[in-house]
Chain A
Amino acid sequence: MTPHPDTTTPQPDALKVEHLDVVYRVGRHERRVLSDLSFTIRRGESYGLVGESGCGKSTAAFAAIRYLALNGRVSAGRILVDGRDLMALSPAELRALRTQSVSMVYQDPGRALNPTIRIGRQMAEVFEVAQGLKPRQAHEQAAQMLARVQIPTPERAMANYPHELSGGMQQRVVIAMALSINPALLILDEPTTGLDATVEAEVLDLVSRLHGEFNNSILFISHSLPVVARMCDRVGVLYAGELVEEGPAASVFTDPRHPYTVGLLRCVPAYGRRKSHGRLETIPGFLPAPGSITGRCVFVDRCGNATDRCRSAVPPRVELGGRMARCFYPERAPDLPHTAQAPAQALAAAAPRAAQPLLRVRSLSKTYQVAGKPFQAVNHMEFDLWAGETLGLVGESGSGKSSLAKLLLGLSIPDSGGRIELGGEALAPDTAARTAAQHKALQIVFQNPGSALNRSQTVRRLIGRSLRLVGLFGRARETRLLELADSVRLTPRHLDEKPRQLSGGLKQRVGIARAFAGGPALVVCDEPTSALDVSVQSAILNLLVDLQAEQQVSYIFISHDLNVVHYLSDRIAVLYLGRLLEIGPAEAVFSGAHHPYTEALLSANPAAATHANRIRLQGELPSALNLPSGCVFQTRCPRKIGRICEDQEPPLLDAGFGHAIRCHIPAAELKGAQLTPDAPAPGIDVPPPSSPHP
């Protein structure tokens, strides 16, 4: 691809931030959320800012276009965009800069587009305002731009309102709008966080391809290390408002020099890591309140390498030949003490399977009526789950994962004919009709701990109300409450607090304690860590594994993160449009043969190293109101073999060792095709070698 132009022409850097301090006024106090932040994005470079929530990533992005919230202000430092000092610009110049030199793509495309204006009008407006084009020319330009972001039928998309497009399409439109002014600097603030894995992969491919084409500078903000590692030339790691490490993406991620980066990288379950390999690493402690730490290292309270020196002085920026770490001991970072020990015995010893499965699901379906049409959210689901086992449920949004969970729990009523048995007893369809023993045995940990906990109740009451179920009162109840709190690592101090006073991770621990109050046999975990930061996620996953080892509880674990599912699950079920496409032991599902859909999901995983033979899905997820004939996956399947796929729904074929795949292609043949890395299957869209920075 094109070499960076700054080596030949003396153009200014796209973005230069120098010693930036940003404060927010909260009540009558000023909180410093960014301190002494300096970084430079050269022309044509893609720069990633990573960090957990509350570290100041988005504040940095908004400061870069001088668009802070009303209570925020830049209290020190300079921001130069394209060589111009942002703070010195007049309102008119600032407006010109925002319409001509800088664009921003936000996390939620649904909110970035005006719901009442057609896509075509919104797109054309950009050209009219920024380039002064006539409406007709603007319309043509808009159509061309949409074609460049790979929207298959631009004219049709332009006639649509935003809500008529899928999330991935909406984000393409927003990216097209951002690129239509050919900005010197493109800011992407978590552009794929709300998208499904396969869509995320597509959007990221698109961004890196467009980066090669337009050669803009990119500021890429993300909480996801693998995504940033893939997308960016250089990265900066933010912690508590400070840039703690910076350098070329490859070296920061393979050879980190700041203990926080080391900790973050260790927290993420690595590709292929299993719970039998041992506990996940965590970062102990909590993110400090912004501006609360002065005169010492911001990371000192959570750092295994900290010494007295770190507690008494602020570490300087240490230059390390093209990279930087804000640490007294950058050379010791790789030796940061591990927080997790060798695999515990309890984890290593797999419990022998009982004769009878704990949960037996037979022909379970759920049909909703949407606008008079039947909508099959779950279709003929059948599976077994044994005591002490974890079944991972994988699939994109709309695949029926959560609908299935609701049916099992009795929160929604299945179509007649289905059967759910728990411990050999049939479960009533409605939770209200189930016995107290069944209520105790079947519990859930919700995705969003904010919604899962009643905000008007204290932790003591939240957990205590579930203990009534066990028939415990008075002193015995208090004893059991303390035990439970302790088992999820809550301290007695937390018991009298309300959810609002707890962090996301602590809230989720309360949710877990509540689920375990009655000594459950099966706990449904519905994306329990997707709302949490990675360091918190690993602690929660460890907790779930520990509780399983202690209590032999079974889990149904729903997640869109394949590495997390793989880490925790003994068996995995892959769902698509309410149908079970594949089920089997985790190892078998991950190593293949895979269903073609599973294959696509796996290769969309940014942490998986091989991108050469990535397989991509064509087209959109079909509407569940208008299902494809034959195999539901045939419209997007890269391995479609012909008419049979359109005419007949494939059976769930046994692939050996409890592994079954719903595909017309025999498992052995699938495996053969999938094992040849350099020969992509026919019909697969082979991407151009787009990334200029492999």
Chain B
Amino acid sequence: MRLAMRTFLAGARASLVMEASDFALPELLGTRLPRFILQALFFVILAYAAGGPELARFALIGNAMGNAAITSLIMLGISIEIEKWAGTLPLLIAAPANWLPLMIGRALAGYLEALLGVVTTFVVLTPFMTGFGFAVDRLLLAAPLMLFSVATMSGLGWLLGSITLPMRIGLLVSNMVAYAMFVVCGVNFPVEALPPALQWVGRSLPLTHGLMAIRAVIDGASYLDVAPLIGLEALIGLVYAAAAWLMFRQRLRAAQLTGNIELH
């Protein structure tokens, strides 16, 4: 257990250090955070044009959370890709340490960046939502659910990273899945508005039920009211995490057997 904790902390430290070196404060303030805000603003204006203040409010919650959850997805997917680029993946595979706590630790910087994005988006854009804004206490009450939804996305990110491990398109696939989730997960309009087949896709992905629960809590529901949605979100997150674990294990085993991981 102590060893697993040490591995987790090592992964967390590595992810934070890499994040800090990749995104120094000027870059975070000049590119990452503005992108969170501006992307949400674009869809809020579009929603306002299409459906008025109510749809704009819907889009603000959806995009603030959607951006955050997708950051978590991409960060975990890309953490596998980065090891590949840096040539350290064979070393990780050969190391005796358990890679599961390491992978969880590697997701930490993604969670932090995602949460920073949610907070910044709400803080900057809520004052402009005159007449159809949010009660601060309801937003704070929904905060644990936001963290929870960000976490449930990690399983999918890890799964995508594992699937694309032998390919060179990991980042592209993560990005495109993330964009597609903006369409099918009820980020900008309710899932019910989609064609039935796409509704089914949306409901089988993480984020969809978490987002429904977050919206309900912001609008006044209690955690007990949204317990079924939270349960579904947790279940879906676990299913993806389990699939990712199996896929990653299979990939690593194949890499150890063939010894050709550097070729990917």
On whether the two chains bind one another, the answer is: no
User: Which residues of A approach B to under 8 Å, CB–CB?
Assistant: none
